[in-house]
Amino acid sequence: MEKFWLRDLEFLGILNQAWAYQGHQGKPRPPFDDLIQRLVLSSSLEKPAVIVSVDIPSGWHVEEGDIDGEGIKPDMLVSLTAPKLCAKKFSGPHHFLGGRFVPPPIADKFALRLPPYPGASMCVRIGKHLPVDVSAMRENYTSPEFLEDQAMADPIDQFRAWFNDAVAARLREPNAMALSTADKEGKPSSRMVLLKGFDENGFVWYTNYGSRKAHDLSENPCASLLFYWDSLNRQVRIEGTVTKVSEEESERYFHSRPHGSQLGAIVSKQSNIVAGRHVLHQAYVELQEKYPEGSLIPKPEYWGGYRLTPSHFEFWQGQPSRLHDRLQYSPKDVDGKRAWQIDRLAP
């Protein structure tokens, strides 16, 4: 304990304050009284430690909380079973509610509505959100340089290399992409969809042909895709024209989907107004009875794929001081054949 000095707190990211319980009256015994005061004073550091208290913060009364104002001010309170009354005095941003140790018979007897387990669903925010200065939020990217002599001649090959990097990095849904469309009046809209295939012919995704994006594409076939791989400090923007894939291709992909996803595609008249979730659920249940697991589900006519044929690529790599790498691929004609010109754009 004697080696536990205030200056050492500057090197701690999170301090789990779970010392032995010191009694109901909140009067800690030595040497804990000195340690508590050091923690209280740690809030004055330039980078104070984040304090997590378990059950009852040291120095608090079990019912009245921090009576004299000299106790620990935890950033998070962990209540392993039911919160003590002193939890009402807790003003930190997070309160982690346990309940997983309460025997089911007790929970049933007293009609306890315990939070679900596991994970962050048991952590509830109390009080007001901390003020955030949005204008000060920024990242200073650190990445390997992406130079012209490193770029592949064919943008499809370059995309494949970066996509494989995103998969290898185990990013969540690396095939997620923002699809932007516009109607005949130029009114834009964007949404996230999942890439389901790509090759030299273009980039493919599947959707409902009655959706807003489908309506936009029927009036204006020009669209753009944006992939953003945060952990790699990379994004890829692709522009082009969109056409429907063949019915055979849509049919083949539809029947490769999980049983539930096939039913969901039939149930959802995408982008139409529905009276409530119960309407979708009831239709889904009825289809489950009609098409049990293992049965052949016919693909609806209003569902299928689109392919964007690219005419423009931009590969972006985040760099320090906002001096990002931006390499643009534009088509050009070389001896009657299509090739790609690579240019650097100012960040």
Handedness of CA 311, 317, 322, 327 (dihedral sign): negative
In the 8-state DSSP scheme, what is residue 13? S
| Token pair for 66 | 């921090």
303-to-143, 244, 249, 264, 289 alpha-carbon distances in Å: 41, 11, 12, 11, 21
Alpha carbons 8 and 299: distance in angstroms, whole number? 64
What are 208's strand-pairing partners? 303
SS3 readout for 229-256: EHHHCEEEEEEEEEEECCHHHHHHHHCC
38 is catalytic: no
Contact 250, 208 (CB under 8 A): no
What are 14's strand-pairing partners? 50
SS3 readout for 268-325: CCCCCCCCCHHHHHHHHHHHHHHCCCCCCCCCCCCEEEEEEEEEEEEEEECCHHHCCE
Contact 176, 191 (CB under 8 A): no
In the 8-state DSSP scheme, what is residue 269? -
Alpha carbons 46 and 49: distance in angstroms, whole number? 10
Return the C-alpha torsion angle 145, 150, 154, 157, nearest 10.
-70
Q: Return phi, psi of residue 244, to 5°.
A: -75, 145
| Token pair for 342 | 């690579």
Query: Quick check: helix, strand or coil at residue 179?
Result: strand
| Token pair for 157 | 């090959």
Residue 104 half-sphere exposure toward CB, CA atoms < 13 A = 0
Burial degree of 205 (CB within 10 A; 0-12, 13-18, 19+): buried
Instruction: Identify the active-site residue in 322, 326, 338, 344.
Output: 322
Q: Tokens 């969109």 belong to which residue? A: 242
Residue numbers annotated as active site = 322
